[in-house]
Amino acid sequence: AMLDAALGVSEVLFITNAAPDYAGVGWVQHCVQHFMPELMDYFEVIRVVYAREAFRQSGRVEEAVQPQLNVVVEGVTETLTMAWKVEAMKQALSTFYGDAASWKNVMSVGDSLDELDALTEVAFLHENAKSRKTGQEKKLRC
């Protein structure tokens, strides 16, 4: 019901730190196939984003092999697994919203605080980038 409701109003993405290739398919699809096969039809319209791959495509390949490593992303120190999520969310939101000034009505559901923290970080970076252009300070509301 939640997926139907979400798909009824917007695009739905699954962003995961899991390995993109597991037994010939993506980890998410593999798990759904084996544990919730009734949901497989959703994956014809739901895009799965593998955050490690998004991070590698951003050009920082050398860091992507050490998940416990702390990295500095735009002046903020975070774990590499968090940096993967931040990069994937940033790419997804930039693609979805394009040059729109405001990113609104973004929801993150996850099994840890990483998803919330990553989304908060991405929104903060986006708002501050706009603020630097206009000279106006923005406050993030979560």
Q: Give the DSSP per-residue string, 69-83.
A: -EEEETTEEEEHHHH
Q: Tokens standing for 130?
A: 């706009």
End-to-end CA distance of the chain: 25
**Strand pairing of 13-16 and 76-79?**
unpaired
Nearest to 101 by CA among 136, 73, 76, 70: 136
Alpha helices, H only, 72-112: 80-97
The mean pLDDT value of the chain amounts to 77
Amino acid code (one letter) for 79: T
Strand partners, 78: 71
Nearest to 105 by CA among 95, 93, 113, 115: 93
Q: Which pLDDT score, from 0 to 100, does residue 4 have?
A: 92
Mean pLDDT of 110-129: 79
Q: Tokens standing for 8?
A: 């009824």
pLDDT digits (tens, 9 = 90+) for 61-117: 555 445 555 555 555 556 778 888 888 988 888 888 887 767 777 888 888 788 888
pTM of the model: 0.72
| H or E, element range at 113 | helix 113-134
Higher per-residue pLDDT: 127 or 96: 96
Mean pLDDT of 56-60: 76
Which among 2-6, 54-58, 132-136 has the top mean pLDDT? 2-6
d(CA 37, CA 31): 9
Q: Is the pLDDT of residue 33 over 80?
A: yes
